[in-house]
Structure formats: C-alpha cells, structure tokens
Structure 1
C-alpha cells in the first residue's frame, strides 16, 4: 500500500520542520510514502527549510494560490497513492508508528476510508508540547452526522478513487467558495450523499498546534459557523441542532485529556 500525504504551506518556516521530522521518523517504508508539498509562494524560508531537511518531498510546487483549499485540490490532483491523507504545516504525526498502524488497519478492515483521534497542542518552554484539547472521535454511525459528529479531517485517510467519484461539477474536491469549512462540506458529502463507511482507529494520529485557520480568532469562529450552517442546509443532514451540537461537543475535548 502506498500512502500520499499532502502538506499545504504558506509562510510556515516556524513549524514545517516538526511536520517534516515526524514523517522522517515513521517506521513505514519510505518508498510507500508519497509526500506532496503545495506551497503558496511563501515569502519566508519555508521552502528553504524543507529543502534542508532529511525527509524530502516527492513533489513540491511553490506558486500563488487561492487559499488552503485550492492548495489541497492541487495536492489531490498530484497524488498517486492508494490512499490520500493530509498533514498540515502546523501539524505532525503523533508517533513513529502512525502510518504502519493506518496501513495495517486499512488492509485488515478492507475499508475505503479510515480516521482516528487528534490532539490540539501548545509548544512548551522545555521544547515539548502540552495537550490543550483531546478529540476522541469515537465509532462512526451515519445517524451521528445530524448530531454534529464529524471525524477530525487531518486524521482522515481516503482511497484515492473516492476523490474522483465524489468531486464537484467544477472539478474541485474541496469547494473553494468556502474559506474555512470546505473540509466539513467534503466530509458531509462523502459520508452523507456517497455513504462512504470509514473505519475507526482508536489512537491519536495527529497533533495540531492551536491557532489553526478555523479557530485562530473570534472572527474566524463566526465565519466558520456561518459556513457550517450553509453546509448543513445544503447537504440536508440535520438542522440548527446539528450546528449547536457540533460546537458544544468541542467542550468535552478540553475536559478529556490523554497523553
């Protein structure tokens, strides 16, 4: 099994080395990893930092784009792996065994998709990372979509053929009309309309630095809620209670913390 991992970067000099290092530390065979970096014409030393690292991208493009979802669309088009996942520039794989566990779980289950758990972390003075939120996804049930449930998108690994089968009329996989919720729209589409049945791997797959696009400010939180509500209505899954539970469900992530 070959796994394509797409990383979108833009002025990510401060964090990309950790992302790159987590890939270099994987116990999964290097020739079964395809790392694709789509850079939005960074003005800092993001590209230079990547080129200086031990784990080099199989494909790297650096050019102006129309935001993160445009970059992810580009990455999916370039992917050749059996499965496709994303590792954003503020994220890193939680342990060296992550890709091995993902591969084994996919092969054993025969599933077309897989997701796991995610932790939001904050850098600490000692050089490590402290857990701020722990997102324990739980087992997927289609009825849970109407209750605001959704797997963490950075932990989702999907068979590449599904992207082609579920893409929009525009040819996009992620709708670039959305600024911060196109991943939610994409997952509602594949889980709802196309009824993809993902397997659940109960382990932390990804650690994400706090301050991502969808939660960096009150303005972004409000914008994301507006986009989420439009997506809920468009996909005809749930109602206003779906949006409420989607947001309230995050509170438990601050209470339940695991190493």
Structure 2
C-alpha cells in the first residue's frame, strides 16, 4: 500500500451488479485499527467495546508507539479480539494508523482511537450488513463527544448526514471514527498523508469521497463515543494548524474552495453543541 494519491480506477458504485452485492455479512471480515501511546487511562474501554461486538469476524490490531506506561499490560488483562500488537516508535498517530491498515487483512477497515469506544454492541454488525446490502465503498454515522470521566454525559452530538457531491466545501465531513472503508480504497488511492499532523483524516476522506467518488452509505445512529479533549478535540493552536492543513488538502486534491472556508466550517461544529441526543 502507498501513502500517496494514486490515479487507479475507482471501485464499483453502490448498486452496481457484481459479486460484492451478493456477499452476506457472514462472509465479510472487519479489521479495527487502534493506535496507542501511553493510553493506559482509557484503552481498556476501547478494547472491551470491540470484544463486546455481536459481529463475529473481527480482527483488532493495536499499533503502540512504544508506550512507557502500562498500556500493553492493561490491554492484556481484558478479554479481547486482538490479532496483532505492534509496539515500536512511530512518526505520529497517522503513521501508526498506516501501519495498522497495512498489517490488516479484513475486507473492511475501521479506525477506533484508544480513548474512544463503540456506542453499543451491534455497531459492527450493522456496518457489515450495510456494506453487503448496498455494495457501497464507505459507511459512516454519528458520533457523541462525551465527558472523559463520565461517558454518560454527552457534551456534543455530531449528527452527520448523507454525502452529496460538493458537501466538503460547505463544511461537511464524516466523523472519522465512524468511517469504515473497503480496503481496496486504501490500496487504490493511498493511506494517510503523514505530513498533515492533525488533519490527515480529513484529507483522506476528502480524497476518497470528493476526488475519487467513493460510494457511501450513512447510518443515522450514534456509532462511537469519543472522550472530549483527545487528539481530535485539541487546543485553539491545533485548530488553527488543522485549518491550514485542511486548506492544503483541498489544494493537493485539485479542489477549489473559498478562502473563507475555515469560517464556514465552524457552523456545523457549533450546531453540535445544540443538537444533542435526547
């Protein structure tokens, strides 16, 4: 696999007749990649939520950045579906994710951050069913930002919506922890661009969906609980740096966007504080 863009042909569109639409969810395997680094505080919840899934064909791959705390010991104390643990220094979280994707063997690949966990036990089963029923390339859904120490307390509810061509320009993008992808897309269109230290997930989704027209299905349900204050909910400085990288992502993919885009992008995020699940 490559971590640069590739001009290879796209995967079949949703609804296109072919073997992909004839498969049942029981014939699919899902790879879940989790990057860890000194993640002892909450990694147990992450691993346990994967283990609790009702879907059977799961491989959970842990890519650890040579943690100096007891992250690995904690992982090994809870029931799990971990097929590989790779612990070595890396070049950041997106480099770790790339390692995990490259090591995976599943038909579908999802990323679950070490502080996050699946909202219920049926999430992966519903993801697999959706891939099989629609023949799509990408499945995504909604996400809750929760209090780090009281995960029943929802601070923001990210209700997504179906993708439409051009949606990224209006400030829309899927919540990356809910973003499940057929592995062929990584093979054809590349991995995360690790030069984008805080926005490589946005760039990859933009590349797959807007540039290469991956066919997607939206599940209108909360799929992942994300503890507020992690990698994706950082400081103002990180937000500014992220916006700069996002503007570069549009340029790198040949997509024109208004210079006011960073301001446009704020509106959907502000709505997340208002639109919480009841």
Q: Distance in 1 between matches of 2:256 and 2:119?
A: 32
Instruction: Give the TM-score normalised by the residue count of structure 2.
Output: 0.87
Q: Work out whether residues 123 and 129 of structure 1, in 8 Å CA contact, stay in contact via their aligned partners in 2.
A: no
Q: Distance in 1 between matches of 2:256 and 2:94?
A: 23
Q: Which blocks of at least 5 consecutive residues in structure 2 are unaligned?
A: 1-27
Which residue in 1 is equivalent to 2:228? 210
Say whether 1:238 aligns with 2:262.
Answer: no
**Alpha-carbon displacement from aligned partner over 1:87-126 (angstroms, at most 9, x marks no partner):** 11010000011111111111111111110001100045xx
Q: Work out whether residues 32 and 58 of structure 2, in 8 Å CA contact, stay in contact via their aligned partners in 1.
A: yes
Say whether 1:199 aligns with 2:226.
Answer: no
3-state SS, counterpart of residue 233 of structure 2: coil
- Superposed, 1:248-259 pairs within 5 Å as 248-259=267-278
Deviation, 1:215, is: 2.3
Q: Distance in 2 between matches of 1:35 and 1:142?
A: 33
Q: Distance in 2 between matches of 1:237 and 1:83?
A: 31
Which is worse superposed, 193-202 or 236-245? Answer: 236-245
Deviation >3 Å, runs of 4+: none
Q: Distance in 2 between matches of 1:214 and 1:108?
A: 31
Say whether 1:98 aligns with 2:123.
Answer: yes
Which residue in 2 is equivalent to 1:19? 46
- Superposed, 1:64-79 pairs within 5 Å as 64-79=89-104
Q: 1:49 aligns with which of 74, 83, 97?
A: 74
Q: 1:59 aligns with which of 84, 89, 107?
A: 84
Which residue in 2 is equivalent to 1:188? 206
Instruction: Give the TM-score normalised by the residue count of structure 1.
Output: 0.93
Deviation, 1:56, is: 4.1
Say whether 1:160 aligns with 2:183.
Answer: yes
Q: Distance in 2 between matches of 1:34 and 1:134?
A: 28
Q: Distance in 2 between matches of 1:78 and 1:26?
A: 21
Q: 1:227 aligns with which of 245, 250, 253?
A: 245
Which of structures 1 and 2 has the larger relative contact order (alpha carbons within 8 angstroms, sep 6+)?
A: 2
Q: Distance in 2 between matches of 1:257 and 1:232?
A: 30
Number of matched residues? 250
Deviation, 1:240, is: 2.1
Q: Distance in 2 between matches of 1:92 and 1:128?
A: 10
Q: Distance in 2 between matches of 1:191 and 1:56?
A: 30
